[in-house]
Structures are given as structure tokens and as C-alpha cells.
Structure 1
Amino acid sequence: STFVAGLEKLKKGEIEPYGVPLAGELPIDFKDIRIVGSYDVDRAKIGKKLSEVVSQYWCDVNSLSDDPVVSTGVHLGSVKNLPIEAEGLEDSMTLKEAIERLVDEWSKLDPDVIVNTCTTEAVKPFGNKEELLKAIENNDKGRVTAPQVYAYAGTLYAKKRGGAAFVNVIPTYIANDPAFVELAKGNNSCGFGDDGATGGTPFTADVLSHLAQRNRYVKDVAQFNIGGNMDFFALTDEGKNKSKEFTKSSIVKDILGYDAPHYIKPTGYLEPLGDKKFIAIHIEYTSFNGATDELMISGRINDSPALGGLLVDLVRLGKIALNRKEYGTVYPVNA
């Protein structure tokens, strides 16, 4: 809802594009972004106009340039223990049938870019496409997760359409799973992911890059986030938290070239914090003549707006990658 509300205000010139990293640097204008479909598994939202859902959170958005009806998605237990009444396609059909339904609906909507913003969930990568196809054929609803269903449906849709992009902004392995990388390459799909980092992780990445450029040796890194929104509530599940931990922790070796001791993961849920999460970072490093320096950073960051600004760019980058036929995982973008 934050992405939709902010995009609408951008189109109308009501706000400046602060928080959109590549605001004026891409050849695609904000006004060129159209929302042709929306999916949810919250029974209270399904069947309503998108504007009706958005206005529940943003009272200053009364109408939308594009206002599709919210369709039924797939959950496969991903919202278990969350305070919603879940409804998914898989409740009344097999995985194969649900995927066929999604591909059929998307073919009518004709999107260039499909964005997955599901709640973070515990996931086991498939590693090869044969295992994925086997699980779907066997209707193994305990093995396949909702994002994996969307991603696979996205590759089938891309093949049918002649090309599409799939953007995954949660830490389920899609862009990092060889099964989906292979499927994307073979079906004219551009893959972006995994995890739209919005809190402490971008700060940590920037600081580590700074230290690497100045030939400091990083001795250890500690970073944690505490928030009070539904995503942080979901992360109280150990399996879901583990998925998030991997995508965050992988930046250390990627940037430094060595795996400095680190503790980087979402740390807890505190409801009063709401969507404005608390972040804290501590980095210890060695400088000239053996001197040891330390950096300590703390802050409060609005989670949903931070991701919303990234989505404005990711949708446009997805279209650019599609135009260039960069099929498979687009590794420079957050993979």
C-alpha cells in the first residue's frame, strides 16, 4: 500500500522522489508505471478495489490512476500465526491448477514486471528444476512455498508472453536458487532478488565498502534490527528469521573478499515500534600501525516507505532488463 500510495503521489507531482535512489537517472518515467493487478491472501482485502485497501492505511489517497480489484493469491501456510484470515487458490485446487490460473490471469493483465512482496518465510531451495517440477506435479504443498509458486508461474508466463521480469524482494531463494535461474534463462524471464534490504544492511554495506576502499581490515561486524510491523512479527518464527539472516550476512564476504566474524540478522519484534524499526551497527577494524577503530551507528527507519522507494526503481529496472533481454538472474541488482 505504501508503494501504491507513494507512486500515485509521484505521478501527480504531490511529492518529491526522495527515497527513490535512481529517481531521475533511468529512461523510464514514474508516470509510465502502471499497476495492472494486485494479489493478496487476506480475505478482508480480496475482491476489493486496490484504492479501497490503500485508503485503509493512507487517508490522503482517495483514488488511483490504476485501480484493479485485488485477486486471490497463494499462501501455502506462509501467513500462519499472523492475525489475518487467509484464503489462497491452493485451498480449492492443486498447485498445478493454481499456477495455471495465475498464468492465465497474468496473460490477460499483460504485465511486464511481476513483484513479489510476500511475508518472509522459511524456505528450502530446490537447487535444480527437476526437484521443483516434481514437487509441483506431486502437489507437495508442504515443500513448495508461495514465492516459489509465483516465481515458477512467472517463468511460464514469460515463456508464453515472450518475456517478463520477476522481482523478489523477500529473502526466499529465487534469484539465488539454481533451479529458478535455469528456468528464467530458458523461459525469457529476468530475475531480480533476493531481499529488498531497507534498514541496517544498506548502511553496513556502504560502510564496509568504504573501509575496503581504504584498506582497513574489518575484525568483526554486529548488526541488528527490531521492528513492530507484521514482517517482524513473522520473523519471530526461527525458520523465517534464518532465511533473512542469510541474505543479510552474505554481504560481508561479497564486499570484503573475506568472511569477517559477524552477527547480522533481524533480532526481535516489539509492537510499539510499528513500521519505524530500530537499527544498530557496530564495526571494529584495524587501521595503520595496528590501531583498532570502532564505528557505532543507530537509528530509526520507516520500513515500508524505504522499500516502496526501491520498488519504484526495481519495476523500472525490470522493464529495462526485459527490453535488453537480460534473461536469468540480474546479478548486479541485489542478488
Structure 2
Amino acid sequence: MEVRVAILGQGYVGTTLAVGLERIKAGEIPAWGVPFGFPKDFLREPKLTDIKIVHSIDVDEAKVGKTLYEVAQQYFPNLRIPETLKEVRVSRGIHLGSTRGLPLKARGLEEETSLQDAVERIVSEWEKAKVDVIVNVITTEKGPGIGNWEKLVEAIKKGGEWEGGKLPATYAYYYAAMLYAETVKPVAFANAIPITLARDEAAVNAAAQRNSIVLGDDGASGATPLTSDLLEHLAERNRYVKGVVQFNIGGNLDFLALLDPERNKAKETTKSSIVKDILGYDAPHFIKPTGYLEPLGDKKFVSMHIEYISFNGAVDEMIVNVRINDSPALAGLLVDVIRTAKIALEHGEKGTIYEINAFFMKNPGPAGAKSISRIVAYQLLIDWLLRHEALEKIPRYSVHTFIEDLARLRKLA
């Protein structure tokens, strides 16, 4: 079952995804960091070797026109880059000011033609590449949702005019994806950045009407899923959380972009939703990306402090400090976002899929859905995969293997 993938935003995450995937396929490295990938490939299909990156889009002049092999050399000068990445060349995408304030020279298709023509050119390229799954990892954008599909159609016709400013590039790409679904074939759009999409009713309805899928929002790869699991631990033991502090400081381009207050607010929203959803009450909290320090590079510094009340009024606290390679953490998850998206398409699912979103995303769609701990979400995803007969074997020691073991023990007794 081949999965043909298009990447939106050939930055650190997109390039890490491409390089790491090809190295796994070549047998150079094990699939650590891919949830269902190691010590064996637990999915029946698609297998890891079935994933093929066939299209790439960016607006950075340092990348447009270059092969993924050449772009990867920019990010990993001391790593042997897989030769297979020479097969894909980065195409120019839609800009709409999405990289404003960043130290790079960017130009979008809409600067040389109309936005509608730019969209149609991208759709044509996807058609030639026979794309199945589109992964959105462009620079962090802020957007409350599309709201009304006709409003988006009108904005495309008007060259990107949107609520007194510019249309977010993600929404233009999503419009392109839905046009592709209408004219070519159903597609899955995975939104791994904080902008609202899978939690937007208009976006989900647009996908459902075209037998397509939108997943999101904002990939949960580092500190936030760890915080959610710690909060689940406290909630299950009925310990009252007095306050939560979690901050991140990094030195990559995404953290530089988050110096912009609007972008930072979008990220804070997706990171903070876990507190009330998991605890059932809105404990005082400060959870946000808080700074940029270039020497840290892609390996961000994360610190968290959780104070809580235990039995007989005892006050305890958790203090956690970690260093996390930011881009590989998300890229590894995206491998299985791609595979589960393809499984959903093959089974005729449409709209959005909470079981996938709850495990992989910080702010899971659809609208009104709760953010849950990843320990619980993992079991939901296992259930979903079992219903689709997609598992070779249940990975690791899950609730399902526990139930099987319990049944065997009862028979022995």
C-alpha cells in the first residue's frame, strides 16, 4: 500500500522527516521515535517502506529549486544524506507573509501570478505526483479557523484579503487540498502547526464533503504530552493541582518565529488546553514557549513545575528539566500520522478522526473535543487500529495485552 506524501514547509522538521525516513527504509537506522515502527513494524500496512515523499513546497529562496538532498545538506552537513532525496525538487509555494520577521528571503507564487492561479498550479503538481497525504509543517501561523467556506473562496479570489489583513498561508494550502480532492481524488491533510483547522467546523465539513480527511491541530511531540501524562497521573490519584508551570526555550527558526506575539499566542493556546481537559478544573498555569536562544539550536530546554495537594493536606511538587531535540521528536510522530491517515482513507473515513488527533496533536479536532493524556490516547488509537484490522500485533504491553493475559490466568486458575 504505497503512501505518496507532499510536505508543506521544507524546514528543519520537514527535512528531518525526509532524511530519517529514507535512512530507516535503507536499513541504516532503527525506527526509534516512530510509535508503531520498532522493535518491529507493528502495522500490517502501509509499512514504513511504503511511504514515499513525492512533493515538497517552500518559499525560502535558499531552498526553492533545490533537491531535498541539497536542502538536507544545509541542515545536516556532517551526515550522509540518502541519495534517494535527489529525486524530489522543492517547488515554490504560497507565501502571503507567512515568514514575516524571519531572517530569510522568501517569495511566493502569488507574487508572480494571481492567488487562484497559484493554487491551481500547486494542485496540478500534486496531481502529477499522485499525492495521498499532505503534511503541513510551515512556520507557525495564527488563525481562529476558516469559519465559513464561502468566505475562504472569496478571499482566494481577492488575492488573499482576509479580515483586514492577509489570509494565512495554511488556509490557502487547505483550499488547494480540497480543490485537489474535488478534481483528482480524496486526500488527507495533516496540520502539525498551531493554526486552527481540524477543530474548525467549516474545514472538517469541507473534507467530509470531498471524502477526505483533515488531522490536527499542532503536533504534540515534546513537553506538552509529558505534562499531560503527569497531570493524568495526579488526576487518577485525586491529587489537587495548585499550579502548573511549563516553559520552553529553543534556538531554531520556529522559536525565533514565536517571538512574534500573535504566533506565540497561537502556540500557548494549543499547549494550555490540556490542563482543564485532563483535571476537570482550570488550575492556575503558565504553559507557553517563552524564549529564543540561538546557541540552543534545535535542542530545546524544557522545565516544568507542578505543585499539588495530597492526602491529609500534604503539599508535594514535581520538578522536571529536560533537553529535547525538537524537530526529530515531531518528525518521528509524523511518520505514523501519515500511515494512520492512509489507513483512514483506505477505509473510507472522512472529516476528522479524534482517535488519531488525540494521540498525535496538542489541540485535537473536532471542535469541542477534549485533550487527553497520551497514555489514554494511545489506547484509543490502538482500539481504532484494531477495528480497522491494521495491527500485526499489539505493540508493547497495552491494556489489550493485559486483558489477554488476565483471561489466560483465569483459565489456569
The TM-score, its normalising length taken from structure 1, stands at 0.96
Residue 67 of structure 2 aligns with an amino acid whose one-letter code is: K
Are 1:231 and 2:254 counterparts? yes
Distance 1:98 1:43 in 2: 17
Distance 1:4 1:268 in 2: 28
- The alignment partner of 2:289 has SS state of strand
- The alignment partner of 1:42 has SS state of coil
- The alignment partner of 1:36 has SS state of strand
Structure 2 spans left out of the alignment, 5+ residues: 1-14, 365-413
Are 1:35 and 2:53 counterparts? yes
- The alignment partner of 1:252 has SS state of helix
Distance 1:131 1:192 in 2: 22
8 Å Cα contact 1:219/1:261 also seen in 2: yes
- The alignment partner of 1:26 has SS state of coil
The partner residue of 1:17 within 31, 46, 58 is 31
- The alignment partner of 2:354 has SS state of coil
8 Å Cα contact 1:36/1:66 also seen in 2: no
Measured after TM superposition, the shift of residue 124 of structure 1 is: 3.7
Distance 2:248 2:303 in 1: 7
Distance 1:264 1:297 in 2: 14
Which range is displaced more, 223-232 or 194-203?
A: 194-203
- Aligned position for 2:10: none
Distance 1:2 1:224 in 2: 24
1:162-219 CA distance string (max 9 Å, x none): 3110001110111112221121111122111111122211110111112222222222
Residue 43 of structure 2 aligns with an amino acid whose one-letter code is: L
8 Å Cα contact 1:226/1:268 also seen in 2: yes
Structure 1 spans left out of the alignment, 5+ residues: none
Measured after TM superposition, the shift of residue 21 of structure 1 is: 1.6
Residue 150 of structure 1 aligns with an amino acid whose one-letter code is: Y
Distance 1:324 1:216 in 2: 42
Which range is displaced more, 302-311 or 119-128?
A: 119-128
The partner residue of 1:300 within 317, 323, 331 is 323
Distance 2:246 2:62 in 1: 36
Measured after TM superposition, the shift of residue 279 of structure 1 is: 0.3
- The alignment partner of 1:44 has SS state of coil
Q: Percent identity?
A: 55
Measured after TM superposition, the shift of residue 300 of structure 1 is: 0.5
Are 1:150 and 2:173 counterparts? yes
Matched ranges for 1:155-304 at <5 A:
155-304=178-327
Measured after TM superposition, the shift of residue 62 of structure 1 is: 4.5
1:231-273 CA distance string (max 9 Å, x none): 0000000000011111111111222222222111100001111
Distance 2:340 2:82 in 1: 28
Matched ranges for 1:48-87 at <5 A:
48-58=66-76, 59-64=79-84, 67-87=87-107
Which range is displaced more, 58-67 or 215-224?
A: 58-67
- Aligned position for 2:400: none
Distance 2:234 2:327 in 1: 29
CA root-mean-square deviation: 1.5
Measured after TM superposition, the shift of residue 288 of structure 1 is: 1.6
Change (3 A) 1:48 1:270: same
Residue 34 of structure 2 aligns with an amino acid whose one-letter code is: V
Which range is displaced more, 234-243 or 197-206?
A: 197-206
Residue 108 of structure 1 aligns with an amino acid whose one-letter code is: K
Residue 21 of structure 1 aligns with an amino acid whose one-letter code is: P
The partner residue of 2:145 within 103, 120, 125 is 125
8 Å Cα contact 2:188/2:342 also seen in 1: yes
How many residue pairs end up in the alignment?
A: 335
Are 1:101 and 2:118 counterparts? no
- The alignment partner of 1:283 has SS state of strand
The TM-score, its normalising length taken from structure 2, stands at 0.78
Measured after TM superposition, the shift of residue 93 of structure 1 is: 2.1
Measured after TM superposition, the shift of residue 319 of structure 1 is: 0.5
Distance 2:246 2:166 in 1: 31
Are 1:89 and 2:106 counterparts? no
Distance 2:202 2:131 in 1: 23
Measured after TM superposition, the shift of residue 159 of structure 1 is: 2.4
Distance 1:124 1:98 in 2: 24
The partner residue of 1:47 within 62, 65, 68 is 65
Which structure has the greater CA radius of gyration? 2
- Aligned position for 2:394: none
Distance 2:174 2:237 in 1: 40
- Aligned position for 2:334: 311
8 Å Cα contact 2:97/2:166 also seen in 1: no
8 Å Cα contact 1:103/1:157 also seen in 2: yes
Measured after TM superposition, the shift of residue 25 of structure 1 is: 2.7
Change (3 A) 1:140 1:74: closer
